[in-house]
A and B are shown apart, each in its own frame.
Chain A
């Protein structure tokens, strides 16, 4: 498939994605934190496994910034395995022989849930920056409406890493009675200043691309590919670790014996980052990147509970399993420990493990035996208690 065809493929996912879609008409608007009532809107989602008769075995998987609903199936645009296929499947920790797994594209996303590249019914044009700002809580509200639509009252588990973990925490805080277990992984209850700063660099890279055109690039038939690629390159560095980069690339040169004394991609690490940037542009929308990174910036679960994080979990009966990775400097272990301390202070049931890995933040997406052992054991034990 050529680049242009791929671009077309990813654009076509916006209105009619290769997945299930739930439509919410004027009678069911999504009331956002900003006060705007978004209506009509749609949520694209995938399911794996079978919902049992008691409707007690549903697991909601929440995706990260650039993830989507294709958690455990071959991606319709990239042809690659789902982003959490290490965790979801028969015999895997989120066992599809046992649980009914749902993963939906976040509101503001670009793979079929309503977002800035969707058509604004008032104008017949893409929303672009006229789309209202969304928050993590808005994403969770939309997921809760999807659960209502699917007839699922209490979720056996809500699980996710990074921004997905933020949604897990928000679920546990906003709908405690609907969450039996929660697995927030490599995440934080408060987006740090450093992470807001990284997000801003990415957004400015997109906005500085002349093809961004104030957000109205789709009508012009162009895309701010350079800006989005640079945003991805910068962000990608934060998903790795110094030791992982060193191990993978060192100072090795790319297909050459000596430096060229140009600004060509002499080093393997440069070539790798350029490839990451280019590949990302094929499957992701620049305006969605602005909106979803902004949603993370606004996330402050303590701030929305009187400045005390423990208040977010007061009286919670949910069983939590929190995990972090030792080399993750984007969502360091201290962020997870802050969540654990708050859960302890609130008297909630919590398990926590810091997994030793040198793969940085991305470790949550990789086949990490300690992660699969801990989460698998946690879910099996909880399933016994739940009678699943």
Chain B
């Protein structure tokens, strides 16, 4: 898969966004669930020539996306994904949102029903700082990456990288690619084993595919 492009050397663009953008084949149809102010979607439309759509809960987010010329509907990942037909997108993206949904499993299943590929990024609750915080202080971890207190956080379903890999297995999602990132945004040990990522990655980005009846991966849309 051709993923590197000199056009991606952006200053100031979030490293996880760049990583996601590199996973999307040019000219694809993409749905970004929980698209916020549309920064990632805009990147995909401009740099990947994507036919991009978004879902966002907040009115402010939708309004900013619409003013950028993006097609975004106000909606909720937990309730509104069910209304989309099967296979209507090449990729469905869930960026830093899975942990804030009420039913992560159902949401993930919907992503892979609607899209032929899903790209999921999530904060890693197994990072050593999080583990150390809980072990030493005995309180729910509050770190630079996870700054909310337990009673304020929208994140109601934290998981570790390992937990997520297990969920993928349970719902029959294949992992085409996975990258763990350091707090700096640099990839953490490219060919490292899961335990290493689970300890040293502050977040991870997964490119998932739906397995067919025989457990094989379904065809990639383009550019493979």
Contact = CB atoms under 8 A, between A and B. Distances in A.
Interface of A: 319, 321-322, 340-341, 344-345, 347, 349-356, 370, 373-374, 376-378, 380-382, 384-385
A352 B75 contact: yes
Given A349-B53, A353-B59, A385 B84 contact: no
B67 interface: yes
Most buried by B among A341, A351, A380, A385: A351
Contacts of A355: 59
A321 B63 CA distance: 11
Contacts, number: 68
A384 B75 contact: no
A358 to B, nearest CB: 15
Contacts of B70: 351, 381
| Size category, B interface | 20 to 34
A341 B71 contact: no
B67 A356 contact: no
A381 B66 contact: yes
Contacts of A345: 83-85, 88
B72 interface: yes
A353 B59 CA distance: 7
Given A344-B83, A345-B85, A353 B71 contact: no
A374 B83 CA distance: 24
B88 A347 contact: yes
A246 to B, nearest CB: 24
B201 to A, nearest CB: 34
Interface centre among B62, B65, B67, B73 (most CB of A within 10 A): B73
Contacts of A354: 59, 74
A344 B70 CA distance: 14
20 contacts: A341-B83, A345-B83, A345-B84, A345-B88, A350-B73, A351-B66, A352-B72, A352-B74, A353-B63, A353-B66, A370-B59, A373-B67, A374-B62, A374-B66, A377-B67, A377-B68, A378-B66, A378-B67, A380-B67, A381-B70
B69 interface: yes
Given A344-B73, A345-B88, A384-B69, 4 more contacts: A344-B83, A352-B75, A377-B68, A381-B68
B69 A382 contact: yes
A385 B69 contact: yes
Contacts of B83: 341, 344-345
A380 B69 CA distance: 8
A351 B84 contact: no
A373 B63 contact: yes
Nearest to A376: B67
Contacts of B74: 352-354
Contacts of B88: 344-345, 347
Nearest to B31: A344
